[in-house]
Amino acid sequence: MRLTIAAALSAAFIASGSGYAQLPAPLEAALSVEARDLRPSSFEFQLETDGEGVTVRVDLAGGDARYTLLAPSESDLTDSEREMWEGFMDPEDDAFREEDDEDGERRSVEFLGPLSLREVVGSDASLAREADGLLIYSFTPLGFPGSQGEDESMAAMIEHLHGEIAVDPARGEPAWLHLLSTDSFKPHMVVRINEFSMRQIFTHEAALGGPRLARMELALDGSAAFQRFEQSMVMAVSNMVFDAGTAQPSDLGEGADSP
């Protein structure tokens, strides 16, 4: 059960050029913040699909991930929730296993890794509005965040999406990202998408000195071969704990706990 953003979307990132024009200053500054790439020792993870879900405690200290079911209780699991829970226990498909790149370097778990929003936003964005103390910019997305490689079906979908990204000017960091459809469209000859929405919500992580992904919400409504489908997914990470050895002098205490 590989719980990467790419797996959730069954998609891959559409590669874009490496050069970017200057964005509006607050957005440019927010996208330039680089959080430290650290592996937490533990955190809570929520997975929900179509209204059913589980919350687990993930312990990464000492090597392989160990999982504890927090909610619901095992006796109250539905069939779908039991399948989710058992998926965490599958050693062949460990969602939070780190892997080595070809050069031998350790690669972070994608859902826990640094944000890669600049490749999504590109070089053209404009201030759309201000709301709840946030600056909200509108843009045409270049691809889905956190994905790699190329995929024709996702390329066909991204062409029909609109993007918004919110910046918290007080902290100078991204607050959320929203990719959504504004009209019904057909990414494939036999598929029609009536509504698509993917929202990522970020939080400041003190131990990382920057933002991290806290929650992703995905909703899809459409039809395929004349059969209606409606799907939703939520993934959320909270209560991250970092070992004392990862803390910087500016961090408070011997360890760091997250929102």
CB of 175 within 8 A of CB of 187? Answer: no
Quick: pLDDT tens for 84-124: 999 888 766 666 766 555 554 444 555 677 788 999 999 99
Helices vs strands, H then E, count in the chain: 5, 14
Backbone angles phi, psi at 227, to 5 degrees: -110, 125
**Contact by Cβ (8 Å): 204, 156:** no
Q: Which two tokens stand for residue 2?
A: 């590989």
The one-character DSSP state at 189 is T
Domain boundaries, position 51: 5-257
Per-position DSSP letters for 43-95, written without gaps between them: EEEEEEETTEEEEEEEE-TTSS-EEEEEES-GGG--HHHHHHHHHHT-GGG-T
Note the pLDDT tens digit of each residue in 146-180: 665 556 667 778 889 999 999 999 999 999 999 99
Which residues are CB-neighbours of 170 under 8 A, at least 6 positions away? 133
Other beta carbons less than 10 A from residue 117's beta carbon: 20
Q: Do 238 and 44 form a contact (C-beta atoms < 8 A)?
A: yes
d(CA 197, CA 174): 18
CA distance 65 to 137: 38
| pLDDT profile of the chain (259 residues), mean per 10 | 48 34 90 90 94 94 87 96 90 63 50 82 96 97 74 77 97 97 87 93 94 95 88 95 62 47
Q: How many CA atoms lie within 13 A of 226 on its CB side?
A: 0
User: What pLDDT is attached to residue 248?
Assistant: 46
Q: Is 204 helix (H, G, I), strand (E, B) or coil?
A: strand
Q: How many domains does the chain have?
A: 1
Whole-angstrom Cα distance, residue 159 to residue 18?
Answer: 20
